[in-house]
Amino acid sequence: MKIDIYNTENKYDIIYADPPWAYLWGKGETGGNFCPEKHYKTMEISEICALGDTIKKIRTKNCALFIWTTMPCLKDVFSVIEAWGFKYKTCAFTWIKTRKDGQPLAGMGSYTKANAELCLLAMRGHIKSVDKTVPQVLMHPRLGHSVKPDEIMRRIEKLFGDNTKRIELFARQQVDGWDCWGNEI
């Protein structure tokens, strides 16, 4: 269900976020079709951090945050985690992007050809996982620009069970069992 996070009384055990990071090269000057600004409005790190007061109002006492980042934004994601009132725990998921034939994709990068994105796990309080068999690495074909594999949401559900209240921030679609917020839905 679509939610207005600024005007809700809902509280969530799991927050899943894929912020629209603004890259240094992301203002349309370089990066070609891979430039985020050509696909959606990005946010500066200060704007993402400023959501902290709202995030603190919608989370439960014991809440897990799953937040996507790329290697160039790795330093910034820790500022967001702190501003939103969470403590970093681990890298929950590593998505290795593949071609349709299953071979690793040779992506972009300033130094090496990056092809992975990280989904970090941060916590407020503690939520006990109900399944210890959830794998960290996902080999999956690249989807549309910044679109993440649905498999990650299924793994989060498996990890913490069906009795959790979940929301996806910066969502692009509505998913059964998840509330959602974003300007693309």
pLDDT, block means (10 residues), the chain with 185 residues: 95 97 59 51 93 98 97 93 98 94 81 89 96 96 81 98 96 94 84
How is the chain split into domains, by residue range? 12-181
How far lies 123's CA from each of 3, 6, 60, 168, in Å?
22, 22, 11, 16
Six-digit token string for 32: 């070609």
Q: The domain 12-181 belongs to what CATH superfamily? A: Vaccinia Virus protein VP39 (3.40.50.150)
pLDDT score of 152: 98
Cβ-based neighbours of 6, under 8 Å, separated by 6 or more: 54
Q: How many CA atoms lie within 13 A of 162 on its CB side?
A: 2
For position 28, what pLDDT does the model report? 47
